[in-house]
Structure 1
Amino acid sequence: MPCCSKHSLFECQTESEVAVSHTSTQINKGFATAHAKPSYAPHSRIEPTHMKITLDVTEAALKAKTVKAQVAITLNVPASTVASNAVNRELVLNAVALRIDNVDGVDSFDYDGKRLTLRWVKNYTGGVVTIDYVIETPLAGLYFHVPDETVPDRALHVITDHETERCRYWLPCVDQPLVRTTLDFNITHSTQHAAVANGAHISTTASESDPSVSVSIYRLLNHTCPSYLICWAVGDYISVDDGDVDGIPLKYLCSRDNKFVTKETLLHTFEKTGAMIRWMQKKVGLKFPWEKYFQIVSPKIEGGAMENISLVTYKDIFLYDEELGRDGWQMAVDGVNVHEMAHTYFGDLLTMRHFEHVWLKESWATYMDFCWSEDHYSHEEARYESFLNMEGYISETGRYYRPIVCKTYDSSWDMFDGHTYPGGAFRIHMLRQILGDETFWAAVKNYVNTYNGRFVETEDFKRCLEQESGLNLTKFFDQWIYGRGYIKLKADYSYDADKKVVQLTLEQTQVDKDLEIPAVFEATIEVDVIDTDGKVHSTEVVFNDATGNKVVAFILLGDAKPDAVEVDPRGKVLHTLDFNPGEAILEGTAKRGRDIMSRIRSYRQLIKNGSISALKKVSSAVHDELYWGVRAQVYSALSEAKIQPAVDILATALILEKDPKALRHLTSVATAKDERIRQGLLAVLARPAEQLSGRTRRFAYTNLGRQRNPADLDLLLAALANPDSIDLHGFTLAGIITGLGLHRSAKAFEALVNLVFVPAGTARVIPEACTVLAVDAIAESLGWQENKIRRLEVAELLAELARVDKAHRLQKAAVRALVAIGEEAKPHFGVAYNIASTAFAEQNTLKLVTYVKTLQTAGGDKTAELKKTVEDLEGRLKKMETLVQLLEAKEKSGLFVESAAKTDA
Structure 2
Amino acid sequence: MVRGGHEAGLAVTCSSAFATAAGAASRDFAAGTTTPKYGPSLELEPTHLLLQLRIDIERRTAGGSVTTTVVSRRDGARSLSLHAEDFEAVTAVELVGQGEADANGAATADDGLSWTYDGHVIAIRLGGDGLVVGAKACVRVAYTVASPRTGMFFSDPGRSPFVATDHETERARYWLPCVDHPAVRTSLRFELTLRAGLTVLANGARVEGSSCSTASEAGWETTVWELTPPMRCPSYLLCIAAGEFARADGGTYTDAGGVEREIAFFGPSDAVAAADLARTFGPTASMISWMVGRLGVPFPWPKYFQYAVGGGVGGAMENISLVSWHDSLVCDEALHAERGLLVSTVNLHEISHTYFGDLLVIKHFDDAYLKESFANFMELVWLTDEYGEDVAQAFWHMERVEYTAEVDDVYARPLSTRTFDCSWSMFDRHLYPGGAWRLHMLEALVGEGPFWAGITKYITTHLNGTVETVDLRRALEATTGRNLVRWFDQWVYAAGYPKLLATTAWDAGTGVASVTLRQTQADPCRRIGTFDVSVPVSFQAPSGEWLDAPPVVMTAELPSGTTALRLDGEPMAVVIDPAAKVLHTLDWSAAGEQLLSRALTAAPTAAGRVQAAVELGKRGTARSVAVLAAALRSEPCWAVRRLIATALPVATSAAAVAGVVEGLVSETDPRVTYVLVDTLSKARGDTTAAAALRSLLSRGSDGDSSSPRAGPLATAAALRGLGAMRGDADVATLAAWVAPSTAAAPPEVDGWSPASLGIAARGAVTGLGSTRSEAGLAALLVVLDLGAHPTPSDPARLPWVRSAAVTATADAVAWADRPTRLRVGEVLVGIARRDEAPSVRTAACRALVRLGGDAVEAGLPAVLLGVAETLPNQDAVAIRRAAAEASRGAVTMGAGALPPAPALAKEVETGKEALRLVTARLEALEAVAKLTPSREGQATAGNADAPGA
TM-score for the superposition, normalised by structure 1: 0.87
CA contact (8 A) 2:477 2:483 kept: yes
Q: SS of the counterpart of 1:290?
A: coil
CA contact (8 A) 1:2 1:163 kept: no
How big is the shift at 1:393?
A: 1.7
Q: Does 1:509 align with 2:509?
A: no
Q: Does 1:851 align with 2:875?
A: no
CA contact (8 A) 1:20 1:847 kept: no
CA contact (8 A) 1:63 1:146 kept: no
Distance 1:193 1:47, change over 3 A: same
Distance 1:854 1:830, change over 3 A: closer
- 1:763 is aligned to 791
CA deviation profile, 1:560-583 (whole Å, cap 9, x unmatched): x41111111112221222223211
CA deviation profile, 1:225-247 (whole Å, cap 9, x unmatched): 11111111222222233332121
How big is the shift at 1:41?
A: 1.8
CA deviation profile, 1:793-829 (whole Å, cap 9, x unmatched): 7665555444444333344445555555566652585
Residue type of the alignment partner of 2:464: G
- 1:575 is aligned to 584
CA deviation profile, 1:181-222 (whole Å, cap 9, x unmatched): 111111010012221111111122223564411000011113
Residue type of the alignment partner of 2:377: Y
Distance 1:354 1:851, change over 3 A: same
Distance 1:533 1:444, change over 3 A: same
After the TM superposition, which residues 422-821 of structure 1 pair with which residues of structure 2 at under 5 Å, given as runs? 422-519=433-530, 521-543=531-553, 548-559=558-569, 561-579=570-588, 580-639=590-649, 642-670=652-680, 671=682, 672-688=684-700, 690=708, 692-718=710-736, 720=738, 721-724=745-748, 727-729=753-755, 730-757=758-785, 759=787, 762-763=790-791, 765-769=794-798, 770-781=801-812, 798-817=828-847
Q: SS of the counterpart of 1:591?
A: helix
Q: Does 1:48 align with 2:46?
A: yes
* Structure 1 stretch displaced more, 599-608 or 215-224: 599-608
- 2:263 is aligned to 250
Relative contact order: is structure 1 or structure 2 higher (C-alpha 8 Å, sep ≥ 6)? 1
Distance 1:589 1:366, change over 3 A: same
| Aligned partner of 1:240 among 228, 234, 248 | 248
CA contact (8 A) 1:745 1:785 kept: no
In structure 2, what is the Cα distance between the partners aligned to 1:582 and 1:403? 36
Distance 1:116 1:599, change over 3 A: same
How big is the shift at 1:268?
A: 0.9
How big is the shift at 1:792?
A: 7.0
In structure 2, what is the Cα distance between the partners aligned to 1:458 and 1:614? 45
- 1:273 is aligned to 284
- 2:164 is aligned to 159
How big is the shift at 1:781?
A: 3.3
Distance 1:793 1:464, change over 3 A: closer
CA contact (8 A) 1:836 1:844 kept: no
In structure 2, what is the Cα distance between the partners aligned to 1:507 and 1:772? 43
Q: SS of the counterpart of 1:733?
A: helix
- 1:298 is aligned to 309
Q: SS of the counterpart of 1:739?
A: helix
Q: SS of the counterpart of 1:155?
A: coil
In structure 2, what is the Cα distance between the partners aligned to 1:772 and 1:596? 37
Distance 1:134 1:658, change over 3 A: same
How big is the shift at 1:16?
A: 10
In structure 2, what is the Cα distance between the partners aligned to 1:48 and 1:635? 54
Residue type of the alignment partner of 2:173: R
In structure 1, what is the Cα distance between the partners aligned to 2:435 and 2:851? 38
How big is the shift at 1:32?
A: 0.9
CA contact (8 A) 1:68 1:133 kept: yes
* Structure 1 stretch displaced more, 732-741 or 113-122: 732-741
| Aligned partner of 1:93 among 82, 87, 92 | 82
CA deviation profile, 1:758-793 (whole Å, cap 9, x unmatched): 5599436434233443344344335778996x9877
CA contact (8 A) 2:244 2:269 kept: yes
Identical counterparts, % of pairs: 33
In structure 1, what is the Cα distance between the partners aligned to 2:863 and 2:273? 39
- 2:62 is aligned to 67
CA deviation profile, 1:721-768 (whole Å, cap 9, x unmatched): 443257441222222232233334444443333344255994364342
CA contact (8 A) 1:483 1:517 kept: yes
How big is the shift at 1:364?
A: 0.9
In structure 2, what is the Cα distance between the partners aligned to 1:743 and 1:661? 27
Larger Rg: 2
In structure 1, what is the Cα distance between the partners aligned to 2:385 and 2:195? 45
How big is the shift at 1:470?
A: 1.4
Q: SS of the counterpart of 1:510?
A: coil
CA deviation profile, 1:153-178 (whole Å, cap 9, x unmatched): x3322211111111111111111111
Distance 1:36 1:821, change over 3 A: closer
CA contact (8 A) 2:9 2:346 kept: no
Residue type of the alignment partner of 1:63: E
| Aligned partner of 2:397 among 384, 387, 404 | 387
CA contact (8 A) 2:64 2:144 kept: yes
Q: SS of the counterpart of 1:724?
A: coil
After the TM superposition, which residues 121-160 of structure 1 pair with which residues of structure 2 at under 5 Å, given as runs? 121-125=127-131, 126-147=136-157, 152=158, 154-160=159-165
In structure 1, what is the Cα distance between the partners aligned to 2:291 and 2:459? 12
After the TM superposition, which residues 16-55 of structure 1 pair with which residues of structure 2 at under 5 Å, given as runs? 18-20=17-19, 30-55=28-53
Q: SS of the counterpart of 1:20?
A: helix
CA contact (8 A) 1:442 1:468 kept: yes
* Structure 1 stretch displaced more, 182-191 or 726-735: 726-735
- 1:836 is aligned to 867
In structure 2, what is the Cα distance between the partners aligned to 1:14 and 1:142? 21
CA contact (8 A) 1:541 1:551 kept: no
Q: SS of the counterpart of 2:513?
A: strand
How big is the shift at 1:518?
A: 3.7
* Structure 1 stretch displaced more, 766-775 or 90-99: 766-775
Distance 1:666 1:860, change over 3 A: farther
**Ranges in structure 1 where 5+ consecutive residues have no aligned partner:** 868-905
In structure 2, what is the Cα distance between the partners aligned to 1:658 and 1:723? 25
TM-score for the superposition, normalised by structure 2: 0.83
How big is the shift at 1:374?
A: 1.1
In structure 2, what is the Cα distance between the partners aligned to 1:44 and 1:853? 35
CA deviation profile, 1:295-347 (whole Å, cap 9, x unmatched): 111112443111111111111121012211222x1111111111111111111
Aligned length: 841
- Structural RMSD (CA): 3.1
| Aligned partner of 2:196 among 149, 171, 191 | 191
How big is the shift at 1:96?
A: 0.9
How big is the shift at 1:402?
A: 1.8
* Structure 1 stretch displaced more, 496-505 or 452-461: 496-505
CA contact (8 A) 2:21 2:846 kept: no
- 1:889 is aligned to none
Residue type of the alignment partner of 1:668: D
In structure 1, what is the Cα distance between the partners aligned to 2:14 and 2:129? 54
- 1:888 is aligned to none
In structure 2, what is the Cα distance between the partners aligned to 1:291 and 1:68? 28
Distance 1:136 1:690, change over 3 A: same
